[in-house]
Structure 1
Amino acid sequence: YSANARPLFDTGKVVNIREKLVELAMQNPEYEIADRRIAIAHYQLAKAKGAWLGQVIFQANFNEYSIKPSGSTLGAANLFPRYNVGISLPLDLVTNKGNEVKIARQNLGMMQAEKNQRFRTIKGDVLKKYEAYLLHKQKLDLQSQSTLDAYSVFLGAEKDYSDGIIKQEDYNKATKDYNDEKAKQLELIYNFNVAKIELEIVIGVPLETVITAK
């Protein structure tokens, strides 16, 4: 912002600009982390739902009579089954699986709640920073006009003093008034630029690209 810049504030664009600022702020890395945590929670839930398969033990046994049949063992083979198949399940499988799925669901819910809270936090932060930017901009616009008025008075006093129309103290007063207004303007320029920088850190792009976008 230059000392001689003119007001650029346009209330007609404020609503659209706010929406765009929030949209840009949602691309913040912090929000991306929340998305990735939710994805991980989904994977963990799917893993918990299928974890019981890893605890199932399949067993198959073949007796010697079915593997090497002979005339002397035919009678024994009729007494014993050729093979037996079994599945072994831990007694606490159903309980453990249910608890693991519940834990995974709770973790997913926590991640989604955290994302929602982060959305509200980021949205509130960017909108507050934009309001601060607007406040500093309007204050600077007003002060710039006051500084311009004081400068005009100073130029008139300078001419009148050189022409002998006014006294030294009148010229000194006009000079001091202008310097005071200029100092206020410089401080407000600093505040405005800082507010703009803080807003741009959140949205990740120069503010001008948002304001001038159609």
Structure 2
Amino acid sequence: MNNKLKFLSILLLCFLLTTRLHAQGETFIADINYQYLEKLIATAKKNYPEVKLRQAQVNLAKSNLTQAKVLWLDAFTASYIYSPRSSLNLIQPTIFNGYQLAISVNIGQLLSKPFVVRSARETMRIAQYQQQEYDLSITANVKRLYYQYLSAQADLRLRSGAVIDGETAVKQLKYSFQKGEVTFQVYNEALTSLYLQAGYKVQAELATVTAKTNLEEVLGVRLEDVK
């Protein structure tokens, strides 16, 4: 029986070491493609509705500034008077005959125009700052979601490798159990460990799908469509 226990210990030790090697070897850092990441960021800025909203606000603010500058002319009002040369106006006699041009100035509007233009310019700057802020925010968000997706993929590879190792160990223990070299308890513990690893793999699959969905939500397109 001691030899059987030694055999079992060696087998389980090999299983644990193999799992640890998978854990140490899996990393998502090497999977980072910075050129592809820049494409993801550009895609998100192109498709995400909030980005389009920020750009529309900037365009509107620019239009309002242009309008405010043109409205300087509202303070001036031009009109003309026509006095026929052959007529004689005894009620309001005029010195000049023919067409007469008159220009009036609204002092209140004239004095208020600099403040209107300044307000429109500041509104445009605020819209531009908000757009720049959101550009930084969506860039950071795409990076975070991309890293989460790569991390989930690496964890899934780890869990898949652990399941394969567990299946190999169970097959060996099943063969040993059928030959009477190990007890049913030992074989059952290996099966339980395999079931746990399979459950972890399912969780890793869910995490990977969720991370991919979150990233695609920001991109506005499927991840496979970003070339």
Q: Shorter-chain TM-score: what band?
A: 0.7 to 0.9
Cα pair distance change 1:12/1:133, threshold 3 Å: closer
Shift of 1:12: 6.5
Match of 2:138 in 1: 122
Which runs of 5 or more structure 2 residues have no equivalent in the other structure?
1-25
- TM-score in terms of structure 2 length: 0.79
Q: List, as ranges, runs of 4+ consecutive aligned residues in structure 1 with deviation greater than 3 Å.
A: 9-13
Match of 1:168 in 2: 184
Match of 2:36 in 1: 17
Q: How far does the alpha carbon of each residue in 1:98-147 deviate from its partner, in whole angstroms, 9 at most, with x for none?
A: 11111111111011001000100100111011111111111221121111
Write the letter of the residue equivalent to 1:34.
R
Q: Which stretch shows the higher mean deviation, 153-162 or 55-64? A: 55-64
Are 1:48 and 2:68 counterparts? yes
Distance in 1 of aligned mates of 2:184 and 2:109: 98
Cα pair distance change 1:152/1:93, threshold 3 Å: same
Of the three residues 73, 76, 95, the one matched with 1:80 is 95
* Contact 2:75/2:107 (8 A) holds in 1: no
Cα pair distance change 1:171/1:132, threshold 3 Å: same
Q: How far does the alpha carbon of each residue in 1:140-163 deviate from its partner, in whole angstroms, 9 at most, with x for none?
A: 211211111011111122222233
Match of 1:206 in 2: 222
| SS of structure 1 residue aligned to 2:79 | strand
Correspondence 1:23-42 to 2 at 5 A: 23-27=42-46, 28-42=48-62
Match of 1:58 in 2: 78
Match of 2:17 in 1: none
| SS of structure 2 residue aligned to 1:61 | strand
Shift of 1:13: 5.8
Write the letter of the residue equivalent to 2:153.
K
Q: How far does the alpha carbon of each residue in 1:64-109 deviate from its partner, in whole angstroms, 9 at most, with x for none?
A: 6x2x34xxx6xxxx97211532100111233211111111111110
Cα pair distance change 1:23/1:79, threshold 3 Å: closer
Write the letter of the residue equivalent to 1:96.
S
Write the letter of the residue equivalent to 1:99.
F
Of the three residues 150, 157, 160, the one matched with 1:144 is 160
Match of 2:9 in 1: none
* Contact 2:142/2:215 (8 A) holds in 1: yes
- TM-score in terms of structure 1 length: 0.83
Distance in 2 of aligned mates of 1:19 and 1:144: 30
Write the letter of the residue equivalent to 1:20.
K
Shift of 1:21: 1.0
* Contact 2:32/2:150 (8 A) holds in 1: no
Correspondence 1:104-123 to 2 at 5 A: 104-123=120-139
Distance in 1 of aligned mates of 2:68 and 2:224: 49
Distance in 1 of aligned mates of 2:94 and 2:64: 50
Percent sequence identity over matched residues?
A: 22
Cα pair distance change 1:167/1:79, threshold 3 Å: closer
Cα pair distance change 1:147/1:79, threshold 3 Å: closer
Aligned length: 196
